[in-house]
């Protein structure tokens, strides 16, 4: 990596706590340096209050299950010994 050459030195009087940089237009800019929170110290002296909004309880619509002796009422599935017919009706399966 090649070293750059100093064109002009001590053009800007530096202040402690500021960061100096050159922007896209070529101007020298300064910004206040941000520091992280120190260990054991609180970052905020006054606690922020959370906005309290009442949430509505959402009710889920219960799935309607056909009442038939061949359909389980809790799961909605066919019980053993039953099957669906050609037109979608529930019929007893023939025993072999």
Higher pLDDT, 67 or 82: 82
Predicted pLDDT at 46: 66
Inside any domain, residue 13: no
Inside any domain, residue 96: yes
Q: Which domain holds residue 93?
A: 65-96
Domain count, the chain: 1
Predicted pLDDT at 75: 84
Strand partners, 28: 22
Higher pLDDT, 48 or 21: 21
pTM of the model: 0.32
Exposed/middle/buried for 78, CB within 10 Å: 0-12, 13-18, 19+? middle
Inside any domain, residue 16: no
| Pairing label, strands 90-92, 82-84 | antiparallel
């Amino acid at each position: 990596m090649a070293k750059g050459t100093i064109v002009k030195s001590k053009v800007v009087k530096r202040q402690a706590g500021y960061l100096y940089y050159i922007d896209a237009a070529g101007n020298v800019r300064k910004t206040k340096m941000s520091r992280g929170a120190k260990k054991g110290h609180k970052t905020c002296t006054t606690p922020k209050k959370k906005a309290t909004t009442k949430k509505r309880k959402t009710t889920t619509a219960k799935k309607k299950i056909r009442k038939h002796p061949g359909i389980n009422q809790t799961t909605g599935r066919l019980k053993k010994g039953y099957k669906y017919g050609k037109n979608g009706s529930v019929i007893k399966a023939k025993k072999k």
